[in-house]
Structure 1
Amino acid sequence: MRRSFAVRAGALLAGVLLSGAFTVLAASTAPAAYAADGDKGFTIEDPRITESSGLAASRQHPGVYWTHNDSDDGPYLYAVDSATGKTVARLTLTGVGTPRDVEAISIGPDNEIWVGDIGDNLGGTWQYVWIYRLPEPAKLVDQTVKATQYVVKYSDGARDAESLLVHPKTGRVYIIDKKEDGGHLYEGPANLSASGANIFKPVAAVDLWATDAAFSPDGAQLAVRGYFGGISYAWNGGKIKREGRLDVPLQRQGESVSYSADGTKIMYGSEGSGSSVVAEDAPEGAGSGAKSPSGKGSSSASGEGDGSSATGSVKFGALAVAAVCVAVFGLRRLLRRN
């Protein structure tokens, strides 16, 4: 009964909103086309990647982005060539248990890949989650790589999270929990232990329902995204300071974010087969010595916003479509739990 009611409610809400939203959008804007040429954006072509939930730019292999599927795909990571959208290597992780809800990926110092098995489809009731660390291969071919597994607990109780960050200079690991009314940045121990639980503690509030986050290559800025907006923070030694809103594109289920390797772009990914990764200019000063020629970031401190300069009619249509996405996403999560 619960499932059938959810199906009817989701379908009704989606139908009502779609009838008006797409009419407005069709009259006011055309679909954006993102060419498959690297940091201008690309489309993930691999049919095995149906729920891309994390994104991280390789520093060792220019133009390559690492991603993975959500939930129970298995211990796999995919290296995607942004020039073609094609997978150039799939890694199979060993030395770890069976992944439960893999949500995030980050590149740390010394070209190490960090994977966050930190989602909690039970609504924040798992007593612990996992993080995996592995060396990024020097040669991109399908291969098996041994990873180190870390147990993570939170000082203030279990919670759901989809954002894992590793500072590119210090190597310290951070997590942002996922809460509709805003969450917190959690800091891990200076050195993680593979033999016991690692306690992560809240150190700063985050004004967003966060689905992913990423450090700039120089570690000076932090980009946090949600489904329909994003915020840029100055890292400020971990005492984060809000700088402005990010130009987050409207996507069917906005899940991932990464700076480009040179820091001039912020790349936004979404779930779904054949999903697009959209490039937007990063705020100025985000790169490793490079600056975006037209970096953006509103100084407004109120609300999440959509960060766009579109007309009012486009914003209205976008918000309506966003509401549809919320309904569909909520239905999807409900059905998964049941």
Structure 2
Amino acid sequence: MTRRGWPPARAGWSTVLAALTVVPGPAQAALPGPALAAAATPVCQVRDERLTEISGMVATDSGFVMVNDGSDEASRRRIFFLDARCAVVRTVAYPSRPRDTEDLVVGADGTIWVADIGDNDRTRATVGLWKLSPGARRPVLHRLTYPDGAHDAEALLVDGDGRPVVVTKQGGEAGVYVPTGPLRAGVTVPLARAGQLRLPATTTANPYSFFGRRLVTGGATAPDGRRVVLRTYADAFEFDVTDGDVVAALTTGTPRVVALPDEPQGESVSYSGDGRWLLTVSETADQPPGTRPTVLRYALPAGPASPVSSPPAASPPAASPDVPAPADRSPSTPARDAVDAADSGAGAGGVRSLLLGVGVIVAGLLVALVGAGRARRTRRR
């Protein structure tokens, strides 16, 4: 999701109403300290002008595979294969126009799944997964439908059986959806809601402040299938997977957290080919002229997941020499201060409930603003 036209003059009422359906639950637990703020190491720069809205990335033994989000330019609506230096070595075109490609994952057999699941206005009757089998010249479209209405989503994982797992992008609890049967070209397969997850709260600086820490913008499955990771605009959350059960990992597990501070438009995440590192890349469509997407490498935390405790007072993450962590760039307002106070656990009793209520309203408006910039492109498709 890009920030083109940010902030929009007016968001669609359908988006606002959908965002405001978030229902406040129990106070969100926070990590017992800042997320691990490891220094980011630049790996390579993507210099191909067709790749400025990168929404999905996966590392391979020879380099990377990347996709843009929905684009009006035909040259950008492709699956891009890059070498280890981030140079494009070949592309694969879609047989028909995709709507909004937001993520991709590679299965154990080498199959590439491209997630055509973006839906800012929540108006799509179906979403799609493009399957590119090893050696195939074109991907094949598989259509899916949600059981409970349209959702915006940007994260795709794959479980131990090779089954795709979709995680929605929404405030509060994100939905976890899986196909109810084998995917078949030309047949729309229903999805089933397998559960939901609520990510721990952090204090990591990012362009969208409080709400940037809540929206799931990408996912990745480790090469050995024993770990998966979801990311927001601010952090990465790594879950251990037992017996290939990704749904159980997401809905019952406690994640390890890696801070990804101040990435311009962080939506993509991948494990390295050997599974030892976490890799990210940001969109650069709305960044200063000459800015190139840069693949960044982060160290993964070792050991079991950190326990979740009662919320401490909010504190900024530690700065690193490669990726600075300045204060949030969103302007300070009474409403925003109230949201951040609720997020960090400040207040008690009726005051806390009031702050949480304000937070829900502001969060809903932020969903509308973040999505409206790209919604115009989606409606034209």
TM-score (norm 2): 0.65
**Residues 246 and 108 of structure 1: CA distance in aligned 2, closer, same or farther (over 3 Å):** same
- Confirm whether residue 209 of structure 1 aligns to residue 215 of structure 2: yes
Q: Identify which of 257, 260, 267 aligns with 1:248.
A: 260
Task: Map Cα deviations across residues 4-35 of structure 1 (whole Å, 9 max, x no partner).
Answer: 995579xxxxxxxxxxxxxxxxxxxxxx8844
SS in 2 for 1:230: strand
Task: Map Cα deviations across residues 210-246 of structure 1 (whole Å, 9 max, x no partner).
Answer: 0001111111211110011222222232312123212
Q: Which amino acid is 2:67 matched to?
A: H
Contact (CA 8 Å) 1:155, 1:200: kept in 2 or not? yes
- 1:67-78 maps to which residues of 2 (within 5 A)? 67-72=66-71, 73-74=73-74, 75-78=77-80
Aligned to 2:131: 133
Aligned to 1:222: 228
> Once the 2 structures are TM-superposed, how far is the Cα of residue 91 of structure 1 from its aligned partner?
1.4
Task: Map Cα deviations across residues 192-224 of structure 1 (whole Å, 9 max, x no partner).
Answer: 122321122222322241000111111121111
Contact (CA 8 Å) 1:228, 1:306: kept in 2 or not? no
Aligned to 1:277: 295
- Confirm whether residue 116 of structure 1 aligns to residue 107 of structure 2: no
- 1:1-338 maps to which residues of 2 (within 5 A)? 6=7, 34-35=41-42, 41-58=43-60, 62-72=61-71, 73-74=73-74, 75-82=77-84, 84-94=85-95, 97-122=96-121, 124-137=122-135, 145-167=137-159, 169-207=160-198, 208-236=214-242, 237=245, 238-240=247-249, 241-272=253-284, 274-284=292-302, 298-300=306-308, 308-310=317-319, 317-320=326-329, 333-338=371-376
Q: Which amino acid is 2:372 matched to?
A: L
Aligned to 2:341: none
| Distance in structure 2 (CA, Å) of the matches to 1:221 and 1:185 | 16
| Distance in structure 1 (CA, Å) of the matches to 2:134 and 2:238 | 27
Task: Map Cα deviations across residues 61-85 of structure 1 (whole Å, 9 max, x no partner).
Answer: x241100111124440111223x22
Q: Which amino acid is 2:319 matched to?
A: A
Task: Map Cα deviations across residues 27-74 of structure 1 (whole Å, 9 max, x no partner).
Answer: xxxxx8844xxxxx222111111100000122xxx2411001111244
**Residues 224 and 102 of structure 1: CA distance in aligned 2, closer, same or farther (over 3 Å):** same
Aligned to 1:16: none
Contact (CA 8 Å) 1:177, 1:185: kept in 2 or not? yes
Contact (CA 8 Å) 1:51, 1:272: kept in 2 or not? yes
Aligned to 1:18: none
Structure 1: give runs of 5+ residues left out of the alignment. 10-31, 36-40, 138-143, 285-294
Task: Map Cα deviations across residues 129-153 of structure 1 (whole Å, 9 max, x no partner).
Answer: 111101244xxxxxx8222211111
**Residues 116 and 225 of structure 1: CA distance in aligned 2, closer, same or farther (over 3 Å):** same
**Residues 78 and 91 of structure 1: CA distance in aligned 2, closer, same or farther (over 3 Å):** same
Task: Map Cα deviations across residues 81-127 of structure 1 (whole Å, 9 max, x no partner).
Answer: 23x22111111233xx31111111110121111111110132x1211
Task: Map Cα deviations across residues 148-198 of structure 1 (whole Å, 9 max, x no partner).
Answer: 21111112221110111223x421111000002231221123521223211
> Once the 2 structures are TM-superposed, how far is the Cα of residue 264 of structure 1 from its aligned partner?
0.3
| Distance in structure 1 (CA, Å) of the matches to 2:370 and 2:47 | 23
> Once the 2 structures are TM-superposed, how far is the Cα of residue 336 of structure 1 from its aligned partner?
3.6
Count of matched residue positions in the alignment of Structure 1 and Structure 2: 280
Structure 2: give runs of 5+ residues left out of the alignment. 11-38, 199-213, 286-291, 333-362, 377-381
Contact (CA 8 Å) 1:166, 1:172: kept in 2 or not? yes
**Residues 64 and 231 of structure 1: CA distance in aligned 2, closer, same or farther (over 3 Å):** same
**Residues 194 and 302 of structure 1: CA distance in aligned 2, closer, same or farther (over 3 Å):** farther
Q: Percent identity?
A: 28
> Once the 2 structures are TM-superposed, how far is the Cα of residue 262 of structure 1 from its aligned partner?
0.7
> Once the 2 structures are TM-superposed, how far is the Cα of residue 316 of structure 1 from its aligned partner?
7.3
